């Protein structure tokens, strides 16, 4: 899961790894399926990127973990797949 890659990057304080994962998450957004959700997630990913660039890895960990946990819960409750679930 791409969220796992982003979280690993945060834990390892590897801004390039986090940025790559955030790029993949951003690219997986489907505004045509849910414009408001896509816009909100895009803003969250942008905020995480800004925090990482500023050297703050703790807040992005909390944010990305919450998003990951939510996707896992949704996946268990329905047939919806999280972004890049092939990992």
Span 35-58, pLDDT tens digits:
999 999 999 999 999 999 999 999
Report pTM.
0.84
Q: Which domain holds residue 72?
A: 2-77
Q: Quote the number of domains for the chain.
A: 1
Q: Is residue 58 situated within a structural domain?
A: yes
- Angstrom CA distances, 84 to 5, 44, 46, 55, stand at 11, 18, 19, 26
Q: Is residue 43 part of a domain?
A: yes
| 34 token code pair | 């849910």
Residue 86 lies in a domain: no
Q: Are 53 and 15 in contact (CB under 8 A)?
A: yes
Nearest residue to 3 via CA among 62, 79, 65, 73: 65
Low-confidence ranges of the chain (pLDDT < 70): 79-87
């Amino acid at each position: 899961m791409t969220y796992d890659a982003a979280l690993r990057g945060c834990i390892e304080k590897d801004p390039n790894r986090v940025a790559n994962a955030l790029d993949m998450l951003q690219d997986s957004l489907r505004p045509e399926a849910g414009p408001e959700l896509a816009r909100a997630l895009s803003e969250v990913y942008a905020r995480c990127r800004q925090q990482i660039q500023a050297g703050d890895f703790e807040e992005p960990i909390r944010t990305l973990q919450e998003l990951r946990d939510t996707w896992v819960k949704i996946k268990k409750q329905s047939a919806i797949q999280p972004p890049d679930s092939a990992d």
